[in-house]
Protein backbone atom coordinates (compact mmCIF):
# COMPACT_ATOMS: atom_id res chain seq x y z
CA UNK A 1 0.00 0.00 0.00
CA UNK A 2 1.30 3.43 -0.93
CA UNK A 3 2.03 5.66 2.07
CA UNK A 4 3.50 9.10 2.59
CA UNK A 5 6.86 9.10 4.39
CA UNK A 6 8.98 11.91 5.74
CA UNK A 7 12.68 10.99 5.74
CA UNK A 8 14.78 13.32 7.89
CA UNK A 9 18.50 13.30 7.14
CA UNK A 10 17.67 12.18 3.61
CA UNK A 11 20.79 13.82 2.22
CA UNK A 12 23.08 11.69 4.38
CA UNK A 13 24.62 8.28 3.79
CA UNK A 14 22.06 5.98 5.42
CA UNK A 15 19.19 8.35 4.67
CA UNK A 16 19.96 8.36 0.95
CA UNK A 17 19.94 4.58 0.75
CA UNK A 18 16.71 4.43 2.76
CA UNK A 19 15.02 6.90 0.41
CA UNK A 20 16.03 4.82 -2.60
CA UNK A 21 14.61 1.67 -1.01
CA UNK A 22 11.31 3.31 -0.04
CA UNK A 23 10.94 4.68 -3.56
CA UNK A 24 11.42 1.19 -4.95
CA UNK A 25 8.57 0.10 -2.67
CA UNK A 26 6.32 2.66 -4.39
CA UNK A 27 5.84 5.15 -1.55
CA UNK A 28 5.47 8.93 -1.75
CA UNK A 29 8.36 10.71 -0.05
CA UNK A 30 9.09 14.07 1.49
CA UNK A 31 12.82 14.42 2.13
CA UNK A 32 14.72 16.92 4.26
CA UNK A 33 18.31 17.58 5.25
CA UNK A 34 20.19 20.58 6.58
CA UNK A 35 22.71 20.34 3.74
CA UNK A 36 22.12 22.23 0.50
CA UNK A 37 20.52 19.94 -2.11
CA UNK A 38 23.68 19.90 -4.22
CA UNK A 39 25.55 18.31 -1.30
CA UNK A 40 23.13 15.41 -0.76
CA UNK A 41 24.72 12.00 -1.30
CA UNK A 42 21.67 10.83 -3.28
CA UNK A 43 18.96 13.14 -4.63
CA UNK A 44 15.78 11.94 -6.34
CA UNK A 45 13.84 14.61 -8.23
CA UNK A 46 10.56 12.66 -7.97
CA UNK A 47 10.44 13.46 -4.23
CA UNK A 48 9.68 16.72 -2.47
CA UNK A 49 13.14 17.74 -1.27
CA UNK A 50 13.85 20.44 1.32
CA UNK A 51 17.02 21.95 2.76
CA UNK A 52 15.91 22.96 6.27
CA UNK A 53 17.19 22.91 9.86
CA UNK A 54 15.12 20.46 11.92
CA UNK A 55 16.42 21.92 15.17
CA UNK A 56 13.73 24.55 14.52
CA UNK A 57 10.29 23.42 15.71
CA UNK A 58 8.36 25.32 13.01
CA UNK A 59 10.21 23.39 10.29
CA UNK A 60 9.32 20.09 11.97
CA UNK A 61 5.68 21.14 12.26
CA UNK A 62 5.48 22.13 8.61
CA UNK A 63 7.16 19.01 7.25
CA UNK A 64 5.14 16.48 9.28
CA UNK A 65 1.81 17.85 8.03
CA UNK A 66 -0.13 15.30 5.92
CA UNK A 67 2.54 12.63 6.55
CA UNK A 68 1.80 9.03 7.57
CA UNK A 69 5.20 7.87 8.81
CA UNK A 70 8.48 9.49 9.87
CA UNK A 71 12.04 8.16 9.70
CA UNK A 72 14.43 10.30 11.73
CA UNK A 73 17.94 9.63 10.42
CA UNK A 74 19.09 13.22 11.03
CA UNK A 75 21.96 14.11 13.34
CA UNK A 76 25.29 15.88 13.33
CA UNK A 77 27.85 13.09 13.31
CA UNK A 78 30.83 11.44 11.67
CA UNK A 79 33.66 9.10 12.50
CA UNK A 80 35.53 9.02 15.80
CA UNK A 81 37.66 12.02 14.90
CA UNK A 82 34.55 14.15 14.42
CA UNK A 83 32.49 13.06 17.42
CA UNK A 84 35.39 13.32 19.87
CA UNK A 85 36.11 16.89 18.79
CA UNK A 86 32.54 18.18 18.36
CA UNK A 87 30.66 17.02 21.47
CA UNK A 88 28.44 20.10 21.84
CA UNK A 89 27.49 20.06 18.15
CA UNK A 90 26.58 16.38 18.38
CA UNK A 91 24.44 16.93 21.47
CA UNK A 92 22.47 19.71 19.78
CA UNK A 93 20.88 16.98 17.64
CA UNK A 94 18.64 16.31 20.64
CA UNK A 95 16.60 19.29 19.41
CA UNK A 96 15.87 17.46 16.15
CA UNK A 97 14.37 14.43 17.86
CA UNK A 98 12.53 16.48 20.48
CA UNK A 99 10.93 18.85 18.00
CA UNK A 100 10.04 16.07 15.56
CA UNK A 101 8.31 14.10 18.32
CA UNK A 102 6.33 17.18 19.37
CA UNK A 103 5.32 17.85 15.78
CA UNK A 104 4.36 14.20 15.22
CA UNK A 105 1.84 14.43 18.03
CA UNK A 106 0.25 17.58 16.59
CA UNK A 107 0.03 16.10 13.08
CA UNK A 108 -1.05 12.62 14.22
CA UNK A 109 1.84 10.63 12.73
CA UNK A 110 1.12 6.89 12.75
CA UNK A 111 4.67 5.71 13.52
CA UNK A 112 8.07 7.30 14.20
CA UNK A 113 11.54 5.79 13.75
CA UNK A 114 14.66 6.97 15.57
CA UNK A 115 18.16 5.99 14.44
CA UNK A 116 20.33 5.43 17.51
CA UNK A 117 23.90 4.20 17.79
CA UNK A 118 26.16 1.66 19.48
CA UNK A 119 27.86 4.72 20.99
CA UNK A 120 25.20 4.54 23.72
CA UNK A 121 26.84 1.46 25.28
CA UNK A 122 28.57 1.56 28.65
CA UNK A 123 32.28 2.26 28.09
CA UNK A 124 33.29 -0.11 30.91
CA UNK A 125 31.99 -3.01 28.81
CA UNK A 126 34.22 -2.00 25.88
CA UNK A 127 37.64 -1.70 27.50
CA UNK A 128 39.14 -4.85 25.94
CA UNK A 129 39.62 -6.06 22.37
CA UNK A 130 37.41 -8.85 20.97
CA UNK A 131 34.72 -8.41 23.61
CA UNK A 132 31.49 -10.37 23.75
CA UNK A 133 28.86 -8.75 21.56
CA UNK A 134 26.96 -5.94 23.29
CA UNK A 135 23.39 -6.76 24.28
CA UNK A 136 20.74 -4.06 24.34
CA UNK A 137 20.69 -4.20 28.14
CA UNK A 138 24.39 -3.27 28.24
CA UNK A 139 23.50 0.40 27.74
CA UNK A 140 22.77 0.58 31.47
CA UNK A 141 24.08 1.64 33.91
CA UNK A 142 24.66 4.57 31.58
CA UNK A 143 28.17 5.55 30.55
CA UNK A 144 27.91 6.23 26.80
CA UNK A 145 30.30 7.97 24.41
CA UNK A 146 30.57 11.55 25.64
CA UNK A 147 28.52 13.99 23.58
CA UNK A 148 27.16 11.93 20.68
CA UNK A 149 26.41 8.82 22.76
CA UNK A 150 24.61 10.78 25.49
CA UNK A 151 22.43 12.50 22.88
CA UNK A 152 21.44 9.17 21.37
CA UNK A 153 20.67 7.57 24.73
CA UNK A 154 18.60 10.54 25.88
CA UNK A 155 16.67 10.56 22.60
CA UNK A 156 15.93 6.84 22.95
CA UNK A 157 14.32 7.58 26.32
CA UNK A 158 12.38 10.48 24.82
CA UNK A 159 10.89 8.16 22.19
CA UNK A 160 9.95 5.63 24.84
CA UNK A 161 8.18 8.21 26.97
CA UNK A 162 6.31 9.70 24.02
CA UNK A 163 4.78 6.25 23.51
CA UNK A 164 4.09 5.74 27.23
CA UNK A 165 2.61 9.19 27.81
CA UNK A 166 1.00 10.02 24.46
CA UNK A 167 0.62 6.73 22.57
CA UNK A 168 2.95 7.69 19.69
CA UNK A 169 4.22 4.47 18.13
CA UNK A 170 8.03 4.64 18.09
CA UNK A 171 10.68 2.23 16.79
CA UNK A 172 14.41 2.43 17.57
CA UNK A 173 17.49 0.80 16.05
CA UNK A 174 21.02 0.98 17.45
CA UNK A 175 23.35 1.02 14.45
CA UNK A 176 26.81 -0.54 14.63
CA UNK A 177 29.35 1.08 12.28
CA UNK A 178 27.49 1.23 8.97
CA UNK A 179 29.62 1.45 5.81
CA UNK A 180 29.27 1.12 2.05
CA UNK A 181 29.21 3.10 -1.21
CA UNK A 182 27.61 6.53 -1.67
CA UNK A 183 28.98 7.82 1.63
CA UNK A 184 31.68 10.06 3.09
CA UNK A 185 35.25 8.91 2.50
CA UNK A 186 37.23 12.10 3.14
CA UNK A 187 36.97 15.49 4.81
CA UNK A 188 37.02 14.43 8.48
CA UNK A 189 33.59 12.82 8.96
CA UNK A 190 34.40 9.46 7.37
CA UNK A 191 34.48 6.24 9.38
CA UNK A 192 37.25 3.64 9.49
CA UNK A 193 36.28 1.42 6.50
CA UNK A 194 35.97 4.37 4.12
CA UNK A 195 39.05 6.14 5.52
CA UNK A 196 41.25 3.06 5.16
CA UNK A 197 39.95 2.30 1.66
CA UNK A 198 40.73 5.90 0.66
CA UNK A 199 44.23 5.76 2.15
CA UNK A 200 45.11 2.53 0.34
CA UNK A 201 43.63 3.74 -2.97
CA UNK A 202 45.75 6.90 -2.77
CA UNK A 203 48.86 5.02 -1.64
CA UNK A 204 48.51 2.58 -4.52
CA UNK A 205 48.00 5.36 -7.07
CA UNK A 206 51.02 7.26 -5.75
CA UNK A 207 53.09 4.09 -5.16
CA UNK A 208 53.50 5.02 -1.52
CA UNK A 209 54.08 2.11 0.84
CA UNK A 210 52.95 3.61 4.17
CA UNK A 211 49.59 4.79 5.54
CA UNK A 212 48.65 6.45 8.82
CA UNK A 213 46.54 4.37 11.22
CA UNK A 214 44.85 5.90 14.24
CA UNK A 215 45.74 4.01 17.41
CA UNK A 216 47.72 0.76 17.48
CA UNK A 217 45.43 -1.06 15.06
CA UNK A 218 44.44 -3.63 17.68
CA UNK A 219 41.13 -1.93 18.58
CA UNK A 220 38.19 -4.05 17.39
CA UNK A 221 34.80 -3.35 15.85
CA UNK A 222 32.04 -5.02 13.87
CA UNK A 223 31.06 -3.29 10.64
CA UNK A 224 27.67 -3.58 8.92
CA UNK A 225 27.16 -3.15 5.19
CA UNK A 226 24.56 -0.58 4.17
CA UNK A 227 22.23 -3.10 2.48
CA UNK A 228 21.92 -5.07 5.74
CA UNK A 229 21.28 -1.80 7.58
CA UNK A 230 18.40 -0.79 5.33
CA UNK A 231 16.76 -4.21 5.53
CA UNK A 232 17.03 -4.21 9.33
CA UNK A 233 15.75 -0.65 9.58
CA UNK A 234 12.63 -1.32 7.54
CA UNK A 235 11.94 -4.61 9.30
CA UNK A 236 12.10 -2.94 12.72
CA UNK A 237 9.88 -0.10 11.51
CA UNK A 238 7.25 -2.47 10.13
CA UNK A 239 7.29 -4.70 13.23
CA UNK A 240 5.21 -4.52 16.40
CA UNK A 241 8.34 -4.45 18.58
CA UNK A 242 8.74 -1.26 20.62
CA UNK A 243 12.01 -2.37 22.25
CA UNK A 244 15.35 -0.87 21.24
CA UNK A 245 17.12 -3.34 18.94
CA UNK A 246 20.69 -3.72 17.69
CA UNK A 247 21.21 -3.51 13.95
CA UNK A 248 24.78 -4.63 13.43
CA UNK A 249 27.15 -7.40 12.45
CA UNK A 250 28.63 -9.95 14.84
CA UNK A 251 31.77 -10.33 12.66
CA UNK A 252 34.30 -8.58 14.93
CA UNK A 253 37.72 -7.65 13.53
CA UNK A 254 40.66 -5.52 14.55
CA UNK A 255 41.62 -2.49 12.48
CA UNK A 256 44.79 -4.34 11.49
CA UNK A 257 42.71 -7.27 10.25
CA UNK A 258 40.49 -4.95 8.23
CA UNK A 259 43.57 -3.37 6.64
CA UNK A 260 44.72 -6.84 5.63
CA UNK A 261 41.36 -7.49 3.95
CA UNK A 262 41.61 -4.19 2.03
CA UNK A 263 45.19 -5.06 1.02
CA UNK A 264 43.89 -8.30 -0.49
CA UNK A 265 41.10 -6.48 -2.32
CA UNK A 266 43.47 -3.83 -3.67
CA UNK A 267 46.35 -6.25 -4.29
CA UNK A 268 48.61 -3.72 -2.60
CA UNK A 269 50.57 -4.10 0.65
CA UNK A 270 51.24 -1.15 2.96
CA UNK A 271 53.23 -0.42 6.08
CA UNK A 272 51.30 1.05 9.01
CA UNK A 273 52.32 4.27 10.73
CA UNK A 274 50.47 4.03 14.04
CA UNK A 275 49.34 7.37 15.45
CA UNK A 276 48.77 6.75 19.13
CA UNK A 277 47.73 10.33 19.89
CA UNK A 278 44.77 10.33 17.49
CA UNK A 279 41.13 9.61 18.47
CA UNK A 280 40.49 5.88 18.63
CA UNK A 281 37.36 5.40 20.74
CA UNK A 282 36.66 2.36 22.90
CA UNK A 283 38.97 -0.65 22.78
CA UNK A 284 36.42 -3.14 21.52
CA UNK A 285 32.83 -3.05 20.24
CA UNK A 286 30.59 -5.56 18.52
CA UNK A 287 26.90 -6.34 18.20
CA UNK A 288 24.98 -9.15 19.84
CA UNK A 289 22.00 -9.92 17.58
CA UNK A 290 20.20 -12.43 19.81
CA UNK A 291 17.32 -10.09 20.64
CA UNK A 292 16.74 -8.73 17.13
CA UNK A 293 16.78 -12.30 15.75
CA UNK A 294 14.25 -13.36 18.36
CA UNK A 295 11.95 -10.34 18.07
CA UNK A 296 11.80 -9.72 14.32
CA UNK A 297 13.87 -12.44 12.66
CA UNK A 298 16.54 -10.12 11.23
CA UNK A 299 20.28 -10.77 11.07
CA UNK A 300 23.17 -9.36 9.06
CA UNK A 301 23.98 -11.39 5.96
CA UNK A 302 26.82 -9.65 4.10
CA UNK A 303 30.39 -10.52 5.06
CA UNK A 304 32.91 -7.77 5.75
CA UNK A 305 35.10 -8.82 2.83
CA UNK A 306 32.23 -8.77 0.35
CA UNK A 307 31.05 -5.37 1.57
CA UNK A 308 34.56 -3.92 1.53
CA UNK A 309 35.07 -5.11 -2.06
CA UNK A 310 32.05 -3.07 -3.16
CA UNK A 311 33.04 -0.08 -1.01
CA UNK A 312 36.68 -0.09 -2.14
CA UNK A 313 35.76 -0.20 -5.83
CA UNK A 314 33.30 2.67 -5.40
CA UNK A 315 35.83 4.85 -3.53
CA UNK A 316 38.54 3.98 -6.06
CA UNK A 317 36.26 5.09 -8.88
CA UNK A 318 35.25 8.30 -7.08
CA UNK A 319 38.87 9.24 -6.39
CA UNK A 320 39.80 8.54 -9.99
CA UNK A 321 37.05 10.87 -11.23
CA UNK A 322 38.07 13.61 -8.81
CA UNK A 323 41.75 13.31 -9.66
CA UNK A 324 40.92 13.56 -13.36
CA UNK A 325 38.91 16.72 -12.67
CA UNK A 326 41.52 18.17 -10.27
CA UNK A 327 38.92 18.19 -7.46
CA UNK A 328 40.72 15.97 -4.97
CA UNK A 329 43.47 16.87 -2.52
CA UNK A 330 45.69 13.88 -1.80
CA UNK A 331 45.84 13.01 1.91
CA UNK A 332 47.41 9.79 3.06
- Please indicate, yes or no, whether residues 76 and 165 belong to a single structural domain of this protein: yes
Question: Which of the following is catalytic: 69, 112, 121, 148?
Answer: 148
- Please indicate, yes or no, whether residues 153 and 56 belong to a single structural domain of this protein: yes
Active site residue 148: yes
Please indicate, yes or no, if residue 122 is contained in any of the structural domains. Answer: yes
- Please indicate, yes or no, whether residues 98 and 204 belong to a single structural domain of this protein: no
**Is residue 276 within 8 Å of residue 321, measured between CB atoms?**
no
User: Could you give the dihedral angle defined by the CA atoms of residues 246, 250, 254 and 256, in that order, rounded to the nearest 10 degrees?
Assistant: -110
Sign of CA dihedral 71, 240, 173, 221: negative
- Please indicate, yes or no, whether residues 270 and 133 belong to a single structural domain of this protein: no
Q: What is the pLDDT of residues 55-78, one digit of tens each?
A: 999 999 999 999 999 999 999 877
Any idea what the CATH number is for the domain that residue 274 is in? Answer: 3.90.25.10
- Please indicate, yes or no, whether residues 22 and 96 belong to a single structural domain of this protein: yes
Which domain covers residue 187, as residue numbers?
Answer: 181-222+252-286+303-324
- Nearest partner of 253 among 193, 202, 209, 310, judged by Cα: 193
Please indicate, yes or no, if residue 332 is contained in any of the structural domains. Answer: no
- Please indicate, yes or no, whether residues 98 and 186 belong to a single structural domain of this protein: no
Which pLDDT value is given to residue 329? 55
- Please indicate, yes or no, whether residues 70 and 210 belong to a single structural domain of this protein: no
Q: What is the pLDDT of residues 77-126, one digit of tens each?
A: 777 778 888 899 999 999 999 999 999 999 999 999 999 999 999 999 99
Q: How many domains does the chain have?
A: 2
Cα atoms in the Cβ-side hemisphere of radius 13 Å centred on 239: 21
Any idea what the CATH number is for the domain that residue 89 is in? Answer: 3.40.50.720
d(CA 222, CA 154): 24
Please indicate, yes or no, if residue 329 is contained in any of the structural domains. Answer: no
- Please indicate, yes or no, whether residues 49 and 155 belong to a single structural domain of this protein: yes
- Please indicate, yes or no, whether residues 211 and 235 belong to a single structural domain of this protein: no
Q: What is the pLDDT of residues 160-170, one digit of tens each?
A: 999 999 999 99
Q: Indicate whether 306 pLDDT > 50.
A: yes
Amino acid sequence: MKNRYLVCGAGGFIGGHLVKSLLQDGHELVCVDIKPLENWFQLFDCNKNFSLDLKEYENCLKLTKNIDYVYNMACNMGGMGFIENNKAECMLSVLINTNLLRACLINKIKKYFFSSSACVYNADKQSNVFINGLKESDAYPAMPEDGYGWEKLFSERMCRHFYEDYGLETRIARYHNVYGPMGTFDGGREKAPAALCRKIVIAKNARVKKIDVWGDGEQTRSFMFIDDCIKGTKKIFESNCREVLNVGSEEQVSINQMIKIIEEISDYKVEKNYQLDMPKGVRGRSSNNDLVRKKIGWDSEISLKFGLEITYKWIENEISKKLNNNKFTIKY
